[in-house]
Structure 1
Amino acid sequence: MDMKKKVNLELRDRSPAEVSMLAVDKCLSSDGEVQGVTEEFKGLEVLRMVNVGLKSLSKLPSLPKLHKLDVSDNAICGGLEALAEKCPNLADINLSGNKIREVGAIEALKSLKNLKTLDLFGCEVTTLDDYRDDVFRLLPHVTFLDGYDRHDNEAPDSDNDQDDGAGPHGDDDEDEEDEDDVSEEDEEEVGLSYLMKEGIQDEEDDGDYVEEEEDEEDEEDGDEEAVQGEKRKRDDDDDGDDDDE
């Protein structure tokens, strides 16, 4: 698929002005230039053109809101002046895997005052002596070069282009999992409390039943004693009558 068709496909019935993130990786530029991306993409913030056969960026349109550009794995060897001229707000540029051989080829990026992250990994220029020192000296506003700062501290993990509308979801999932865990623990505690309460109630009921049985037995014993006392009284009366006779 050529680049123009890929761009049209990625629009997905949207107008170019509505697109903030555009990825046209692994398609084909027929002349080694940017194709299909025009100044109509005036709201574009993230642009990916990875492994599309680019040799130059001279036909890159004016994209004033673009802050991240990934043109890795192409055949770009220079002509980076177009970036400073047409994309003045660039903060992150990935040029890894291109044919940049000298530090002087990136001198045009000096005017990109917002540039914080630059990746030249896999370019021939990275094999030069004092390459990193020279780049940081040439571009003092750059914080991370090839994933590390000037003190060899690794750059933080990428935010996976949250600006393209994808939005962070990991935290919400963790919150939902935590809520599920809490709910399960609450249910277990409630269930345990209920069982304990039920056990205590059963013991109280058993105690009441035993007391009722004891009361009934006492009443029966009392009735028997009353009957026996009445019988003894009648026997005594009979004996008295016999004596009188």
Structure 2
Amino acid sequence: MDMKKRITLELRSRNPAEIAELVVDNSRSADGEVEGLTDEFTELEFLSMVNVGLSSLAKLPSLPKLRKLELSDNNLSGSLETLSEKCPNLTYLNLSGNKIKELSNVEALQNLKSLQSLDLFNCEITSLEDYRESVFELLPQVTYLDGFDQEDNEAPDSEAEDEDEDGEDGAGPTGDYDDEDDEEEDEDGSEGGEVGLSFQVNRADQVGNSGFSLQADPRPAQIQVCFPSHNAPVLQAENSL
């Protein structure tokens, strides 16, 4: 699908001035130029044109609010000066997988004063000696190059941070339920210990005041009532818990 038609479909009859994000990845540019994008996209903040066959940015319209631009896997080798003219507030620029070979190709980005993150991964320029040091020196406003700063600290990933917060919120209840189960088991165990003490009651054989004696029995919960007279029945009651 060509880029112009793709943009029309993405609009879905909406006014271009209402669009804040636009993705036209894998559409095709017939002549290597930006097509179908006009300066009516005054509120556009994020634009992704990955693998669309771009070789020039000369026809990029003015996008004053654009902050993030994805241009990876195209055929760009120059004309980057257009970015500072048309997108002066860019903070993130991905040019990975393009035909950028020399430092002179990115020199035009010096005028992007708000640029914080630049990606040139898989471009020939990355094979230059002292590539990282040279780019940081040429573009002092850039904090992260290919995802890392000058001290090799990785750039923060906002999506991963959101996932971490979700994980923390969901972890609490599981532990609480386990604690409750343990408490219930402890209570059951303590009750069982109290009932486990059994007593054997023996009636004395017509001696004295016919008193009773209580004797502790360590066996499982069991109560025996014994009548030792010759013809009396023997009654046994068992209580197993």
Looking at structure 1, the residues matched to 210 and 148 of structure 2 have their Cα atoms a distance apart, in angstroms, of 101
Tell me how far 1:201 sits from its aligned partner.
Answer: 5.4
Looking at structure 2, the residues matched to 222 and 92 of structure 1 have their Cα atoms a distance apart, in angstroms, of 103
Other structure's SS at 1:101 match: coil
Partner of 2:186: 193
Partner of 2:154: 155
Root mean square deviation, CA, Å? 3.0
Write the letter of the residue equivalent to 1:189. Answer: D
Other structure's SS at 2:69 match: strand
Partner of 2:235: none
Partner of 1:183: 176
Write the letter of the residue equivalent to 1:150. Answer: Q
User: How is 1:16-27 mapped onto 2 (pairs within 5 angstroms)?
Assistant: 16-27=16-27
Please identify which structure carries the higher helix content: 1
Looking at structure 1, the residues matched to 155 and 143 of structure 2 have their Cα atoms a distance apart, in angstroms, of 12
Distance 1:117 1:196, change over 3 A: same
Partner of 1:74: 74
Among all aligned residue pairs of Structure 1 and Structure 2, give the percentage whose two residues are the same amino acid: 49
User: How is 1:204-223 mapped onto 2 (pairs within 5 angstroms)?
Assistant: 210=199, 214=201, 217=203
Distance 1:187 1:84, change over 3 A: same
Question: How many residue pairs are counted as aligned between the two chains?
Answer: 211
Tell me how far 1:135 sits from its aligned partner.
Answer: 2.2
Q: TM-score, normalised by structure 2?
A: 0.73
User: How is 1:1-245 mapped onto 2 (pairs within 5 angstroms)?
Assistant: 1-11=1-11, 14-151=14-151, 153-160=152-159, 168-176=162-170, 178-200=171-193, 202-203=195-196, 210=199, 214=201, 217=203
> More relative contact order in 1 or in 2 (CA 8 Å, sep 6+)?
1
Tell me how far 1:127 sits from its aligned partner.
Answer: 3.1
Looking at structure 2, the residues matched to 224 and 147 of structure 1 have their Cα atoms a distance apart, in angstroms, of 95
Distance 1:60 1:138, change over 3 A: same
Tell me how far 1:24 sits from its aligned partner.
Answer: 1.5
Unpaired runs of 5+ residues, structure 1, are 226-245
Please identify which structure carries the higher strand content: 2
Write the letter of the residue equivalent to 1:158. Answer: D
Q: TM-score, normalised by structure 1?
A: 0.72
Give the structure with higher Rg (CA): 1
